[in-house]
Amino acid sequence: MELHPSPTARRGNVPHDAVTVGVHADKGAYPASKEVWCKQCGFRCNLARDARGINEFAGETITSGNELTNGSFENWTAGNPDDWTVSGSVTQNQTPGYYDWRDNGLSSCQITRSGSTIFLSQAMATPSDFNGNTLIFGARVKCSTNRVIWLRVDVSGTSYYSAYNVAQQRFQELHVLVNCPDTVSSLTVYIQADSEDGTAYVDSCYLSRDGNPTTVAVNAACPHCGSYNYF
């Protein structure tokens, strides 16, 4: 006996056109060699490695996620961001368009320079964790004026800097890459407004490091936490 589908069965209900605009736009698959960031823990990932089962890469230098606390500026007390040391005055901004949606937060740090240097800093409690490591300190910055914000990392008294921000309407990523010495006695990261006057919005700060070889605990996706949520 030949069976026929119900006359009320739904067919062809899968959209055939990709969403190409807005926050849900389909950008297509990431290339396998792409370096991305884990949205859950902040770890720097490589899709070619992460897609194949992490155990074959046991012994790689994958030791940490985001070493900063309150890097997305969600938590504030008495007008200052928690866990950051502030020189000058900064403001919490929760206006849509002025915080970076990629970190799932609803807040950024608004820095307005008017003739005086402003900086935020965060020191690592155990700098020896970075002995012989390669670190990257990054932040996303939105500013309509050139050269208002740049990043700085002090490692055992030596300073390393990013480029200054470029005036634009979208968030721009700044970062500093440092090969640490075998012995790190102190390590502090800075967000600095010390050149041009203007207002900048800073969000999604991270400090990650690649260090001593380790055997990973997950077997797919992000080597640090196992999440498939990248950006």
- Tokens standing for residue 224: 């640090």
Domain 65-210, CATH number (from 3.40.309.10, 2.60.40.10, 3.40.50.1820, 2.60.120.260): 2.60.120.260
Neighbours of 55 (CB within 10 A): 11
- Tokens standing for residue 156: 């055992």
How do the domains of the chain map onto residue ranges?
A: 33-63+212-231, 65-210
Q: Which secondary-structure segment (H or E) carries 119?
A: strand 118-123
Amino acid in the structure at residue 131? N
Per-residue pLDDT of the chain (231 residues; tens, 9 = 90+): 555 555 555 555 555 565 666 656 655 555 555 667 777 777 767 666 555 444 444 444 455 578 999 999 999 999 999 999 999 999 999 999 999 988 778 999 999 999 999 999 999 999 998 998 889 999 999 999 999 999 999 999 999 999 999 999 999 999 999 999 999 999 999 999 999 999 999 999 999 887 654 445 566 677 667 777 776
What is the rounded CA–CA span in Å between residue 189 and residue 123? Answer: 6
Structure pTM?
0.68
Q: Is the dihedral of CA 76, 77, 80, 83 positive or negative?
A: negative
* Nearest C-alpha neighbor of 196 from the set 130, 150, 151: 150
**Contact yes or no for 171/101 (Cβ under 8 A):** no
